[in-house]
Structure 1
Amino acid sequence: MPSVDIWLSLSRKQCLDYYQGQVQQVYAQALDGRRVAFPASALSRVVGKDGVEGYYRLSFSSAGRFESLMKIAAPQR
């Protein structure tokens, strides 16, 4: 299963826009520079009270379809 690592930093308001269906896709830049997109519905599994922030791994099928979003590291503070 191919995967790509990304940094996400989304406010609670931005996540709400995704959750309410105002935005269907999330676009992010991978750590290696590639641009990737995944369904906004995937954020519902990782959003916290302040939004989403940290490093995440996107996994895709061999056909390039989104399969999962998993947190791999929290931001360093």
Structure 2
Amino acid sequence: MIATDSQPRRTDMPSIDVVIRLTRDECLAHYEGRAQSVHTRSIDGRKVVFPTAALTRIVGRDGIDGVFRLHFTAAGKFASIEPLPRR
């Protein structure tokens, strides 16, 4: 990603790659407020927790299944999520 003056460089933020697999029903539980955060693992095995609100950007008709890069602020707060290409 090339940064412009109006676009912050994401590479300056800490990030971690995670695998997310949630069925449609599991995604619905998050939207209905039955789950406030997502618990998953990074591709290197670390436990990762991030806010449910992040799912709205990546959920599809059948749920979520893929590898995603989570970006965090220097203070450790969730900033953004992006899908990574399938290999």
User: TM-score under structure 1 normalisation?
Assistant: 0.92
Stretches of structure 1 that go unaligned for 5 or more consecutive residues are: none
Which protein is bigger by CA-based radius of gyration?
A: 2
| Aligned counterpart for 1:21 among listed residues 33, 36, 41 | 33
Q: CA deviation at 1:32?
A: 1.3
Structure 2 length normalisation: TM-score? 0.82
Q: Which residue of 1 aligns with 2:53?
A: 41
Question: Which residue of 42, 61, 67 maps to 1:30?
Answer: 42
What does 1:1-77 correspond to in 2, within 5 Å?
Answer: 1-74=13-86
Larger strand percent: 1
Count of matched residue positions in the alignment of Structure 1 and Structure 2: 75
Consecutive unaligned residues of structure 2, counting only runs of 5 or more, are 1-12
Q: CA RMSD in A?
A: 1.0
SS of 1:73's equivalent in the other structure is coil
